[in-house]
Amino acid sequence: MATASPSVFLLMVNGQVESAQFPEYDDLYCKYCFVYGQDWAPTAGLEEGISQITSKSQDMRQALVWNFPIDVTFKSTNPYGWPQIVLSVYGPDVFGNDVVRGYGAVHVPFSPGRHKRTIPMFVPESTSKLQKFTSWFTGRRPEYTDPKVVAQGEGREDENTEAEIPRSTWVCLCPIPALMLSFCPQ
């Protein structure tokens, strides 16, 4: 009897947002969410999350360490719309309001194994001098209402890059119905 080839495949992402370098800021937290195509659907895990607030380390690097775990599984029929992780970093301004300190996005790695990515971060800037003055006066910086727009990349050509976040992740591609652990890194 001939065996039918699987009609979908699974993408398992298991990793963490390790740390960040934001030299000018302290007491920051991180949010993540995934952006993916129409044929993709999450089957297990969390699509979005929020970390704890962290302070700079006392060593020379002054790193902000989160070690924020990510564990999610997607299924799809084709690789079009491969998932991207979008990171948003927030922290207090001089008035104590939470403001965005950086946005960044990167595709989930395409091959199985241990991967480490450094994600360039940017913040949106006001487009006119009046908007810049208003945001300075009110203490409210421009930010996206939906951070998922960061993964689209359109209209962000002149954004300001402020920091980088290293992220390591495990990726496992497993066909259905045989979810064999031997295909996955251990």
CATH class, 9-152+163-183 region: mainly beta
pLDDT score for 39: 94
List the chain domain ranges. 9-152+163-183
CA atoms of 4 and 70, how far apart (whole Å): 33
Q: Angle at Cα 180 formed by Cα 179 and Cα 186, nearest 5°? A: 120
Q: Please say whether the beta carbons of 160 and 117 come within 8 A.
A: no
> What are the residues facing 114 on neighbouring strands?
170
pLDDT score for 5: 63
pLDDT digits (tens, 9 = 90+) for 52-83: 999 988 888 888 888 888 999 999 998 999 99
pLDDT in tens, the chain (186 residues): 566 666 888 999 988 888 888 888 899 999 999 999 999 999 999 999 999 999 988 888 888 888 888 999 999 998 999 999 999 999 998 888 888 898 889 999 888 888 888 888 888 877 778 887 887 777 777 788 888 888 886 655 555 444 445 544 444 444 433 322 222 333
Q: Please say whether the beta carbons of 74 and 42 come within 8 A.
A: yes
- pTM, two decimals, is 0.78
Q: Please say whether the beta carbons of 73 and 10 come within 8 A.
A: yes
pLDDT score for 3: 65
pLDDT score for 24: 86
Please give, one letter per residue, the 3-state secondary structure of 56-123.
Answer: ECCCCCCCEEEEEEEEEEEEECCCCCCCEEEEEEEEECCCCCEEEEEEEEEECCCCCEEEEEEEEEEE
CA atoms of 110 and 51, how far apart (whole Å): 25
